[in-house]
Amino acid sequence: MGEWTLSVSAHSIRVPEVTVDGDTLVFTITSQKLNNDVGVCVCRTFEDFEWLQQSLFDQEDVPGLQGIIFPPLPGKPLPSSQPQAQAKALKQLGCLALSDDWKSYCKALEIYLQQVASHSTLSKNKALEGLLTNSEPPGKQRVHKGIFSRLSQAMGELRKENHKDLDDFFQDERNNNLNMTNFTKAASEKSFEVALTEQRLAVACGHLSTSLHLCASQDGPDSANFSKICMKFSEVIDAVKRNVEKVSENNVSTLGLGLEMDYRGHEAKKDMLFRRTCKLVEMEAAVKNAERAKPNKKAIMEEVKKVIEKDFEKISSVAKEEIGRFSEARVSLLRAALIDWCEKQLQTAREDHEIFSKQLEACEQLKCE
């Protein structure tokens, strides 16, 4: 690939906002040039991201490409207000679909881009540069889901998943990964359930506040005091509602997002391990073929075997590196998510403690005689 490198700094990549254009979401991506701090700003749709991901998968002359754990791209966002589409979006995107104005989703895209841009191999792909810096969006190359999963598990090959490994290290990794994928998926889903419930609770608070308001407004002339109380109560419940909403937003935008990304990361690792396992199976088949080959075919079979063996070795060595990188990266990601989550919740708790305390004071002083 030569010495060409990405012209913007990975850490400066941001997806600060998104606009809805009919059925499509248009994301703004900003970044800063490495050498002179000049800012770059482009607008992209989800299809552009898919194009990038596909381009990364399609790289031809990267040895051991299959050993790379590809940063996971979030699922397709469905901005439609149709209830069925919304339900589908919630199912696919989990927490990412829940935050206000797609904030979490944008953050997920941001993380994705940063991960690609930080990857020693992937960052060298010109597609990334194009996506981040070209004023024109990448070509309207509609991507078929079928091609997209070229490097993922094909239906018929799932049985290979359980194929025993030669290498203890990788066998352990595969076992461990299976657990981690399940647990992170569960944690992400449960966190999502909590967020949904919080939303419903907030709505219930809204209804309650309205009911209290009604109690206040319709009472007769003698009941001014009761009305006062009901109004106060209504304000309190409003504050509760805002608190629940803030807590939920905090959950979704930090912890929920972190858990979701971690889960997707483990899935990406699983994909990689599977690819390697497939190669392993292929290699073992080639070895057998070479052994059993008839003398006239033997040389060719040996050649084929050697190529596959070399390929497999490369993949395995890349995989080992990737596993190490991935491990560090995900700890870093979760650490950031947990700290962010804790700090935001702490701040919210402090603010709302203040608010409720003031309301308590006001109520205690309420003159109701």
Partner 1 sequence: MAAEMEPPPLGDAEQTDFREVDDTDDLFVSTVDQLESSPSPPLEPANLLVEDVSVNSNGPKPAEVILDDDPEDLFAEATEEVSLDSPEREPILSDGPSPAITPVTPTVMITPRIEPAMFDCSPDEVEEEENGDTFDINISVSDPEKVGDGMNAYMAYKVTTKTSLRMFNRNEFSVKRRFSDFLGLHSKLASKYLHIGYIVPPAPEKSIVGMTKVKVGKEDSSSTEFVEKRRSALERYLMRTVKHPILRKDPDVQQFLENTELPRAVSTQALSGAGLLRMVNKAADAVNKMTIKMNESDAWFEEKQQQFENLDAQLRKLHASVESLVCHRKELSLNTASFAKSAAMLGNSEDHTALSRALSQLAEVEEKIDQLHQDQAYADFYLFSELVGDYVRLLTAVKGVFDQRMKTWSKWQDAQVMLQRKREAEAKLQYANKPDKLQQAKDEIKEWEGKVEQGEQDFEQISKIIRKEVERFEKERVKDFKVVIIKYLESLVHTQQQLIKYWEAFLPEAKAIA
Q: Which residues bind partner 1 (CB under 8 A)?
A: 176, 179-180, 183-184, 186-187, 189-191, 193-194, 197-198, 200-201, 204-205, 207-208, 210-212, 214-215, 218-220, 222-223, 225-226, 229-230, 232-233, 236, 240, 327, 331, 334-335, 338-339, 341-343, 345-346, 349-350, 352-353, 356-357, 359-360, 363-364, 366, 368
User: For residues 16 and 106, is the Cβ–Cβ distance under 8 A?
Assistant: yes
What minimum distance in Å lies between the beta carbon of 79 and partner 1? 27
Cβ atoms of 279 and 312 within 8 Å: the answer is yes
Comparison of 310 and 335: residue with beta carbon closer to partner 1: 335
How far apart are alpha carbons 258 and 69 in whole angstroms? 18
- Nearer of residues 69 and 236 to partner 1, judged by Cβ: 236
- CA atoms of 16 and 43, how far apart (whole Å): 11
Nearer to partner 1, 101 or 193 (CB): 193
| Under 8 Å between Cβ of 180 and 266 | yes
Closer CB to partner 1, 266 or 279, in the complex: 266
Nearest distance from C-beta of residue 264 to partner 1, angstroms: 15
Query: Within the chain, where are the H helices?
Result: 46-57, 83-93, 103-118, 126-133, 145-148, 168-217, 224-250, 257-292, 295-364
- Is the Cβ of residue 3 or residue 364 nearer to partner 1 in the bound state? 364
Q: Which amino acid is at 80?
A: S
Q: What does the alpha-carbon distance between residue 333 and residue 327 come to, in Å, rounded to a whole number?
A: 10
Q: How far is the CB of 144 from partner 1 (least distance, A)?
A: 35
User: Least separation, in Å, of the C-beta of 208 and partner 1?
Assistant: 4
Nearer to partner 1, 40 or 194 (CB): 194
Q: Of the two residues 198 and 271, which places its CB atom closer to partner 1 in the complex?
A: 198
Least distance to partner 1, CB of residue 290, Å: 38
Please report how close the Cβ of residue 359 comes to partner 1 at its closest, in angstroms.
6
Q: 18 has which bridge partners?
A: 27
Nearer to partner 1, 91 or 350 (CB): 350
Taking the C-alpha atoms of residue 360 and residue 202, their distance in angstroms, rounded to an integer, is 21
Instruction: Give the pair of three-digit tokens for residue 138.
Output: 């990448």
Find the shortest distance in angstroms from Cβ 258 to partner 1: 11
Tokens 């409003």 correspond to 238
Give residues with Cβ within 8 angstroms of 39, minimum separation 6.
Answer: 30, 31, 32, 33
Q: Judge whether 188 and 257 are in contact, CB under 8 Å.
A: no
Q: Which two tokens stand for residue 109?
A: 């895209």
Distance CA 261, CA 267 (A): 10
